[in-house]
Amino acid sequence: MSLATSFKPLFTALATASRTSGKPTTSKELIWHLTEEANSKTIEDNINKQHEAMISAHTKSKGESNNLKGKSKAKDSRHCSNCNKDGHTDDQCFTEGGGMAGKAPEWWVKKNGGKSKGKGKGKSANAAE
């Protein structure tokens, strides 16, 4: 007979009880104990799955992502001295005088109307990621 190793403690308890009492365990008793143990394992597995689902839902509702793996996203402290905007540095700046001047991606050119804005002028952060 082959059963999962999780049933071993049950067999040990039944064998001990049988030896102590001097009475053998009947087939009917054995089947009852095995059924009870299997039902208990099923209930325990279902509870564990429900707990995992609740933890997952709670984690998502708190805005924690699996991609972050427990790390929080720190506020970007970079500041550009060329255009006076936050989110990038002057070597990443697309505006005239910046390290990436003339190398702006198409989305940035469209967003800014193709204009290079000087120091402190304009409304966009001009960030290169």
Per residue in 28-51, pLDDT (tens digit) is 999 999 999 989 989 988 898 888
Residue 112 Cα to chain centre, angstroms: 36
d(CA 95, CA 102): 8
Considering the chain, what percentage of its residues have pLDDT values greater than 70?
A: 75
- The encoded tokens of residue 61 equal 């509702």
Give me the sign of the Cα torsion angle 107, 113, 114, 116. negative
d(CA 75, CA 72): 9
Confidence grade of residue 120 (pLDDT, cut at 50, 70, 90): very low
Give me the sign of the Cα torsion angle 70, 75, 81, 84. positive
Threshold 0.75, pTM exceeds:
no
d(CA 84, CA 74): 21
Per residue in 2-17, pLDDT (tens digit) is 778 888 888 899 999 9
CB neighbourhood size of 77 (10 A):
7
Element (H, E) at 86: none
For residue 5, what is the DSSP state?
Answer: G
